[in-house]
């Protein structure tokens, strides 16, 4: 069985306390690896190493940093099959998804930021004939990078790549539920020649290892992706320490379908948006609002498509939905299915665990794709993040009403709206409270655009220039110009 190690000062090492806990394969319920139960001693060692590495790494020419990051990207691509398999075992997601989405995106994250640092511009401002201002962008020191389990290597590298590309060193903590691909990344960083201490990875529990990173006095930058409650807790620790914070938190994203939309386009994408990764993507469209004149038709077709999705062994070809991340998470999602019924909802399909489909997955954490109608927009089922294969569909009568429905949660991460009327698309997009609005599409990503949420979905933005700015400190140097002739 695989024993995960911390990655500190360029070495794969045991945790100081020599304590480990189990990593469970959600598709089988069996233990698949041992995870270091790290504590503040491991975090202290990782931060010390990152501090020592900072001077040389921040002074390394951008072209050299870029070359090393590109090498890491090539190595991830070389090992795509093995990494995808690890991601599948850790998360329960279909192997096909890990192969086509998760691991390729990790490659792209490194390539994107490795090349972005070669093309950034510095700002200068001339104050008439009196002075010239040159704004330097300097790395900030040791960055603390904390990531969730739903897209493990994808989201971990989305932080690691910009942090180290810009000359910071880092201490990362992947989710304790999905540590394996980060462990393999450590070995690839060694192979790529990343200097010791530039990236350190400490595995363990959020409340112990994660909290030790957040409260460490020598980690001035914290980038976190995870739940809203955890984000709020991290902010309570970090704010009085004047740390720079990026929080990418939960979502409860609306999909809005107007009657003039092309339903042949809207239906398959809405189904995908509801159930991709078992509904465990922060951007999943979990509340669907459909204009009343096409509501019945939409629901019938949506239910038909959802019922046809295959819940199965994540390792098998043709599986659309794999397992949910854990037994506890499955129980939480099921509690929302029960709540929806208490709130007057009707289960149109799913709502239960699937019948056993093979011996290997008998102990796995599976749930059928579940479609619920008959709820109002303000009920708890429609306000709280479920983060599973559960979607609600409600009718609406006009633009104003659906904008009110869409904005009726504390979250504001993304929205998807479907219409053939361009004026309406602009009008509605302008009024939706979310960091991203997709029109006639979903999850069409360009790594250059600002990515993040409004309201309780987060603080700050990742992606493109936003990430380069986040991980650097602007320092303005004002140079007085002497105008006398000599």
Q: Please choose, out of 120-128, 219-227, 330-338, 441-449, the segment that lies near ligand NAD by the rule CB under 6 A.
A: 219-227
Q: Is 152 in the site for ligand NAD (CB under 6 A)?
A: no
| Closest distance of CB 113 from ligand NAD, Å | 17
Q: Which is nearer to ligand NAD, 107 or 413 (CB)?
A: 413
Q: Is 413 in the site for ligand NAD (CB under 6 A)?
A: yes
Say how far apart CA 102 and CA 397 lie, in whole Å: 38
Q: Which is nearer to ligand NAD, 207 or 477 (CB)?
A: 207
Among 390, 411, 428, CA closest to 438? 428
Q: Is 146 in the site for ligand NAD (CB under 6 A)?
A: yes
Count CA within 13 A, CB hemisphere, residue 42.
30
Q: Is 153 in the site for ligand NAD (CB under 6 A)?
A: no
Site string for ligand NAD, 431-470 (x = CB under 6 A): ----------------------x----x------------
> Which of the residues 155 through 184 are near ligand NAD (CB under 6 A)?
155, 173, 175-176
- How far is CA 286 from each of CA 30, 150, 297, rounded to the nearest angstrom? 30, 16, 19
Per-residue b/e over 442-460, b at no fewer than 16 CB within 10 Å? bbeeebeeebbbbbbbbbb
Q: Which is nearer to ligand NAD, 28 or 147 (CB)?
A: 147
Q: Which is nearer to ligand NAD, 427 or 448 (CB)?
A: 448
Q: What are phi and psi of 33, to 5 degrees?
A: -165, 165
Cβ(276)–Cβ(391) below 8 Å? no
Q: Please choose, out of 133-141, 222-230, 348-356, 372-380, the segment that lies near ligand NAD by the rule CB under 6 A.
A: 222-230
Q: Please choose, out of 194-202, 242-250, 340-348, 351-359, the segment that lies near ligand NAD by the rule CB under 6 A.
A: 242-250
Mind giving me the DSSP string for 230-263? HHHHHHHHHGGGT-EEEEE----EEEEE-TTS-H
Q: Is 277 in the site for ligand NAD (CB under 6 A)?
A: no
Angle at the Cα of 52 from the Cα atoms of 49 and 56, rounded to 5 degrees: 125
**Catalytic residue of the set 87, 248, 385, 462:** 248
Count CA within 13 A, CB hemisphere, residue 392.
32
**Catalytic residue of the set 88, 189, 249, 282:** 282
Say how far apart CA 348 and CA 372 lie, in whole Å: 6
Bridge partners (DSSP) of residue 311 are 321
Q: Is 92 in the site for ligand NAD (CB under 6 A)?
A: no
Q: Is 233 in the site for ligand NAD (CB under 6 A)?
A: yes
Say how far apart CA 364 and CA 329 lie, in whole Å: 12
| Closest distance of CB 40 from ligand NAD, Å | 12
- How far is CA 407 from each of CA 282, 400, 414, 424, 438, rounded to the nearest angstrom? 17, 11, 11, 17, 15
| Closest distance of CB 178 from ligand NAD, Å | 8
Q: Which is nearer to ligand NAD, 176 or 466 (CB)?
A: 176
Q: Please choose, out of 71-79, 147-155, 339-347, 469-477, the segment that lies near ligand NAD by the rule CB under 6 A.
A: 147-155
Q: Which is nearer to ligand NAD, 10 or 412 (CB)?
A: 412
| Closest distance of CB 185 from ligand NAD, Å | 15
229 as an active site residue: the answer is no
Q: What are the helix (H) ranges across 61-146?
A: 62-78, 80-91, 95-97, 103-116
Among 252, 256, 251, 263, CA closest to 427? 256
Residues touching ligand NAD, count (CB under 6 A): 30
Q: Which is nearer to ligand NAD, 230 or 416 (CB)?
A: 230
Q: Which is nearer to ligand NAD, 96 or 228 (CB)?
A: 228
Site string for ligand NAD, 280-309 (x = CB under 6 A): --x---------------------------
Size (the chain), residues: 486
Strands (DSSP E) found in 187-235? 199-201, 221-225
Count CA within 13 A, CB hemisphere, residue 445.
14
> Which of the residues 307 through 366 are near ligand NAD (CB under 6 A)?
none
Say how far apart CA 395 and CA 110 lie, in whole Å: 43
Give the SS3 label for residue 7. Answer: strand
Mind giving me the DSSP string for 346-405? EEEE--SPPPP--STTTTS-----EEEES--TTSHHHHS---SSEEEEEEE-SHHHHHHH
> Which of the residues 199 through 218 are near ligand NAD (CB under 6 A)?
206-207, 210-211, 214
| Closest distance of CB 32 from ligand NAD, Å | 18
> Which of the residues 39 through 78 are near ligand NAD (CB under 6 A)?
none
Cβ(433)–Cβ(407) below 8 Å? yes
282 as an active site residue: the answer is yes
| Closest distance of CB 384 from ligand NAD, Å | 11
Question: What residues are labeled active site?
Answer: 248, 282
Residues forming contacts to ligand NAD in the complex (CB under 6 A) are: 146-150, 155, 173, 175-176, 206-207, 210-211, 214, 225-227, 230, 233-234, 248-251, 282, 385, 387, 413, 453, 458
């Amino acid at each position: 069985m695989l024993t995960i190690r911390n990655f500190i000062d360029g070495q794969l090492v045991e945790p100081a306390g020599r304590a480990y806990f189990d990593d469970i394969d959600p598709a089988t319920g069996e233990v698949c690896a041992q995870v270091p139960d790290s504590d503040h001693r491991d975090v202290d060692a990782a931060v010390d190493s990152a501090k020592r590495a900072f001077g040389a790494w921040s002074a390394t020419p951008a072209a050299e940093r870029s070359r090393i990051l590109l090498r890491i990207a090539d190595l991830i691509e070389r090992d795509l099959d093995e990494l995808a398999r690890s991601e599948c075992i850790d998360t329960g997601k279909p192997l096909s998804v890990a192969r086509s989405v998760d691991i390729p995106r990790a490659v792209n994250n490194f390539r994107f930021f490795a090349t972005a640092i070669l093309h950034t511009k510095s700002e200068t401002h001339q104050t008439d004939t009196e002075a010239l201002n040159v704004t330097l962008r300097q790395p900030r020191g040791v960055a603390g990078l904390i990531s969730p389990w739903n897209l493990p290597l994808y989201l971990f590298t989305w932080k690691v790549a910009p942090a180290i590309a810009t000359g910071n060193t880092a201490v990362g903590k992947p989710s304790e539920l999905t540590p394996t691909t980060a462990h393999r990344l450590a070995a690839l960083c060694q192979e790529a020649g990343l200097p010791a201490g530039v990236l350190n990875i400490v595995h363990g529990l959020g409340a112990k290892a994660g909290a030790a990173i957040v409260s460490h006095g020598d980690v001035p930058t914290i980038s976190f992706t995870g739940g809203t409650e955890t984000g709020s807790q991290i902010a309570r620790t970090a704010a009085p320490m004047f740390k720079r914070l990026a929080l990418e938190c939960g979502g409860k994203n609306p999909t809005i379908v107007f009657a003039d939309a092309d339903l042949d386009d809207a239906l398959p994408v809405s189904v995908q948006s509801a159930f991709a990764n078992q509904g465990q993507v922060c951007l999943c469209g979990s509340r669907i609002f459909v204009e009343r004149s096409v509501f019945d038709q939409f629901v019938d077709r949506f239910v038909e498509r959802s019922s046809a999705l295959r819940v199965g062994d994540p390792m098998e070809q043709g599986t659309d939905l794999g397992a949910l991340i854990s037994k506890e998470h499955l129980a939480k999602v099921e509690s929302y299915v029960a709540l929806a019924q208490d709130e007057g909802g009707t289960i149109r399909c799913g709502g239960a665990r699937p019948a056993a489909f093979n011996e290997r997955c008998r102990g796995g954490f599976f749930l059928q794709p579940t479609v619920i109608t008959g709820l109002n927009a303000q009920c708890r089922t429609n306000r709280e993040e479920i983060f599973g294969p559960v979607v609600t569909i409600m009718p609406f009568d006009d633009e104003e009403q659906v904008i009110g429905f869409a904005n009726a949660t504390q979250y504001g991460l993304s929205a998807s709206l479907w219409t053939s009327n361009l004026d309406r698309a602009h009008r509605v997009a302008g009024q939706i409270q979310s960091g991203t609005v997709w029109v006639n599409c979903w999850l069409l990503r360009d790594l250059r655009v600002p990515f993040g949420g409004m309201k309780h979905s987060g603080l700050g933005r990742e992606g493109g220039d936003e990430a380069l700015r986040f991980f650097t400190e602007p320092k303005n140097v004002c140079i007085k110009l002497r105008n006398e002739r000599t």
